Structures are given as structure tokens and as C-alpha cells.
Structure 1
Amino acid sequence: MEAYLRPFIFIAAIVLLATPPARSQALVDPSKVAPEFREAAEKRRAEQIRQRECALKADLEKVLPRDRTAFLNHCLETMAAKQ
């Protein structure tokens, strides 16, 4: 039985090592967007920056995963209220 598993384990290891690491979504660069969509790209970039700031706050405060969504929503609402 072990002789049959060895090639599968070897192939699985190669596949796992060959896959690139997952990356988070990159910030939108308004200068690389068509002029007619630049305003929307600037708004999207501002929203992404706010989301990252709130995620960083959640990491610094060590928010539990089950409470993270509520924390992020509250953080984004308070940031929107300040503006």
C-alpha cells in the first residue's frame, strides 16, 4: 500500500511548491486607468486605503476572527462619519 502512495505524495509536494503564493489585492493605480474611469479608480483607491487602515487596527488590537467583520464595519462607518 505504501508503494502506491509514494508517487502521489511526491507529485503533491511538487504541486504545492510550484504554486505561487497568494497575494492580496493590489491597490488601484489611477494613473494606469483610462481617463474616463480615473475618477472611479481614485474613489476605489481611497476605499481600499480605508479598508487597509481598519484591517491594520484590527490586527494591532488582536481582534478575534469571529469579531473581525463587526469591528471592520464599525471602523469603516466611523471613518465615513468623520469625513
Structure 2
Amino acid sequence: MKQVIIITAVALLATAPARAQALVDPTKVAPEYREAAEKRRAEQIRQRECGLKADLEKVLPRDRTVYLNHCLDAMAAKQ
């Protein structure tokens, strides 16, 4: 039993923590893909802004997807 606990502890310590997806840097991609990278970065920024709004308004996890979709649609309508 003691070995199982030790193996479990080592396995948990060896795993890397999950990281959020980093923002795309358009200057670090090939010139032919730069326009797509700029669009992706703009979309990532919009998603982060909506995520921060959801956090500030303390949206429940079960309602978060609906809230984020509504927020993204509202931002797209403004443009």
C-alpha cells in the first residue's frame, strides 16, 4: 500500500500543469501566414475579454458557454 502512495505522489509531481493557449504573435510566423495569425490573435483577444467579463459577473460554469457565445455575438455585431 505504501508503494502505491509513493508511486501516485511521484506521478502527480511529474505531470506538467495545464497552461492556457498563448496569444499568437503575428511577427513570429512566416509572412504568408501573417494575416491569418493577426485574425487569430484578434479572435483570441475577444475570447479573453468575454472570459474576463464572465469572471467579473461570476457566471456559473453551467451558464458560461451560453454567456460567452452571447458576448462574442454581441462583439461581432458591434463591428
Q: What runs of 5+ residues in structure 2 fail to find an aligned partner? A: none
For the aligned residue pairs, the C-alpha RMSD in angstroms reads 0.6
Give the TM-score normalised by the residue count of structure 1: 0.92
Runs of 4+ in 1 over 4 A off after TM superposition: none
Q: What runs of 5+ residues in structure 1 fail to find an aligned partner? A: none
Q: Distance in 1 between matches of 2:13 and 2:73?
A: 41
Aligned length: 79
Question: Is structure 2 residue 6 aligned with structure 1 residue 14?
Answer: no
1:16-44 residue CA offsets vs partner (Å, 9 max, x unmatched): 11222110001001011110000000000
Give the TM-score normalised by the residue count of structure 2: 0.96
Question: Which residue, out of 27, 31, 36, partners 2:23?
Answer: 27
Q: Distance in 2 between matches of 1:58 and 1:15?
A: 34
